[in-house]
Amino acid sequence: MPKAWKEWEGRVVKKEFRLGDYLGGSERAGVFMTQYGPESLKAAIKLIPVGAWDQATLDAELSHLQSARELSHPYLLQIFQAGRTQLDDTDLLFVVMEHAEEDLSQFLPKRPLTPAEVREMLEPTVEALAYLHGKGFVHGRLKPANVMAIGDQLKLSSDGISRSGGRSAPPGQNSYYNAPEIGRGENEAASDVWSLGMLLVVTLTQDLPGWDAGENEPVLPENVPPPFDEIARHCLRRDPRARWSLAEIAARSRLASPVVSTAGRKAEFRQSGVTPRAAAGPQLAVLQRKGIPAPPTFPYKGRSNAGLYVAAVVVAVIVGVLVVPRLFRGVSNISNSEQITPTRAPARASAEIAPVRDQGARREESGETNSRVGGEEPGGLFGARGRTVRRVLTAGQVAEQVLPNVPQSARETIRGTVRVGVRISVDSSGNVTEAELDSAGPSKYFARLALEAAQQWKFEPPKVEGRNVLSDWLLHFQFTEKGTRVIPEQSDP
């Protein structure tokens, strides 16, 4: 990979995609703004260093990306182009996709979602999963960072989609959102149902469920409201065959019922009083009832600029009446498959939130926010009405630090300092829920030791308004011949 992703701003990939502003990156990927097509649509391009991949791994990754590119659904992020390229001496895969402005992981540290908001999130998520499963695919990476938004429409990331029964989570990543069978190399539709159950619990409580020793039933946080408590329990069965289907989840949450076609056609939703065209989503249903033409979807083809202006005016009118509000203002496309550190966006604790149902959005500054904190204010998804709430943030602390056990024979091989960065996500109880390498350093051995140790750390979580919240940390491991030092850095909130 390049010494600094940002140095590639202004370069051109495949003689077509100019690398605009660098949005963020990790050791495994860098994301830039770009433009796509003759109409210069705003898009994002992800560059993935191939490194020491063998040919089988490379062919499999290209096949997955090409398969995902052929999928099209209003609640899936559209992939425009994918392939292999080279910049300087770096061999890369590239993925050009819709530019998503926001993702759920950037909002959740502020407050959990209300049951009504979760139901609004759940319907398009279930519909997108039903479509994928009907086509013989699995999403495989359903978690808050991969629940994204373009304008006022929720979309799931697409660049991690794979064939059912195909690969599991990528190497170097450990996620509580992964079903138990993924660790055995299995990746089926039921694995997405497990991840959906975890997503429901986290969005409602900012916390993860646990399990009693020897028990197969999850132990949910006490504040999971019905019917989501029952849904989560049936999603989080350790036996994939015992988990609820998407249709059962939809029925219990009073959503439209997904019908997955074994013939491979698009998953549909049956909804009383709504035409098949309206089944594409709640937005289209509203349009039809009002007699307004539906806005265009990506990619645009053969339309003049005048048509785009008309579509923009139509969308602006629709926004005021849509049920699904604007989601999680923040950085886009940088966490579809990895947690990537943003360089341009403000910290999530000071992110701008633009509620649709509010009369106006204010940028959060000096500890003030326009979002509803702790369920005090009514007013729809991610927004408060008519007042600003002051947020008091107390930083988190390390409660238990675990150092890697490095044999003396290994230390004697070190010359100078071996540096490894591990990025972790911490729940509101102070437990590590995800850990991944941010920078592996020169040695895979020491990188593995650092990753294993990081997963065992404990924290005193940060507090907002006296309430524990989720947090992200970057642990800087420094291995020398004489010992190991770790410098923890709270990156969010």
Regarding whether 74 and 170 lie in a shared domain, the answer is no
pLDDT at 245 over 90: yes
User: Do 73 and 120 have their domain in common?
Assistant: no
- 111 shares a domain with 241: yes
pTM above 0.75, yes or no: no
Please tell me the predicted confidence (pLDDT) of residue 383: 37
Residue 321 predicted with pLDDT over 50: no
Say whether 246 sits in a helix, a strand or coil: helix
40 located within any domain: yes
Residue type, 95: V
Residue 27 belongs to a domain? yes
| Mean pLDDT score, 214-239 | 89
> Collapsing DSSP states into helix, strand and coil, what is residue 233?
helix
Predicted confidence (pLDDT) at residue 167 exceeds the cutoff of 90: no
- Are 475 and 442 within one domain? yes
Per-residue CA distances from 244 to 189, 191, 208, 236 (Å):
11, 11, 19, 9
Question: What is the predicted pLDDT for the residue at 2?
Answer: 53
Instruction: Report whether pLDDT(108) > 80.
Output: yes
Given this model, what pLDDT does residue 333 score?
62
pLDDT at 349: 31
Question: Which CATH number covers residue 254?
Answer: 1.10.510.10
The alpha carbon of residue 198 and the mean position of all alpha carbons in its chain are separated, in whole angstroms, by 13
How much of the chain, in percent, has pLDDT values that exceed 70?
Answer: 69
Higher pLDDT, 70 or 262: 70
CATH number for the domain harbouring residue 470: 3.30.2420.10
Cβ count within 10 A of residue 291 = 6
How sure is the predictor about 250, in pLDDT bands with cuts at 50, 70 and 90? Answer: very high
DSSP string, 277-318: GGGG-HHHHHHHHHTPPPPP-SSP-S--HHHHHHHHHHHHHH
Give the per-residue pLDDT at 58: 86
pLDDT, average across residues 310-314 = 43
Inside any domain, residue 294: no
Q: Which domain holds residue 476?
A: 394-492
pLDDT confidence of residue 254: 82
Instruction: Tell me: pLDDT of 288 over 70.
Output: no
Per-residue model confidence as pLDDT tens digits over 83-98: 999 998 899 999 999 9
Residue 180 per-residue DSSP state: G
Is a pLDDT exceeding 60 seen at residue 172? Answer: no
With respect to residue 24, please indicate whether it lies within any of the assigned structural domains.
yes
Residues 21 and 89 in one domain: yes
Report the percentage of the chain scoring pLDDT > 90. 37
Beta carbons within 8 Å of 203's beta carbon, 6+ residues apart: 104, 108, 112, 113, 118, 121, 144
Residues 159 and 195 grouped into a single domain: yes
Per-residue pLDDT tens for 399-423?
Answer: 999 999 999 888 888 988 999 999 9
* Spatial separation of the C-alpha atoms in residues 116 and 122, rounded to whole Å: 10
Per-residue pLDDT tens over the stretch 10-21? 999 999 999 999
Residue 343 lies in a domain: no
For 421-446, write each residue's pLDDT tens digit. Answer: 999 999 888 999 889 888 888 888 99
In order, the DSSP letters of 57-107 are HHHHHHHHHHHHHT---TTBPPEEEEEEEEETTEEEEEEEEE---EEGGGT
